[in-house]
Amino acid sequence: MEEKNHWKTIAIIFIVITIIESIFIFSVVFVAYKLDQKQNENQLKCQNTCSNIENVKTFYYNKEDKSCYCYDQNEKVVKQLIIQ
């Protein structure tokens, strides 16, 4: 009689594992989205900062060290700053 109900235990375990996996995947996607959104905000801050400086032609935002570089038309660094 116990063997007939064995598949129910396996089904419950499978459902629980599927729910845990779904929660984990959702959490990873949510954290990645928030990190990407923060990097986009920092890049926009860099762009706004550099656009307010005279003679700045381009800018570069380095994601690894959160640095912003503003370049003039001769590709020399006019300003460098860390964006928090």
Q: What is the mean pLDDT of residues 55-82?
A: 90
Q: What is the mean pLDDT of residues 41-67?
A: 89
DSSP state string for 7-53: HHHHHHHHHHHHHHHHHHHHHHHHHHHHHHHHHHHHHHHHHHHHHTS
Q: pTM score, two decimals?
A: 0.60
pLDDT for position 31: 92
How many folded domains does the chain comprise? 1
pLDDT for position 1: 45
The Cα 84–Cα 79 span in angstroms is 16
Domain that holds residue 56: 3-82
Q: Does position 70 have pLDDT exceeding 70, yes or no?
A: yes
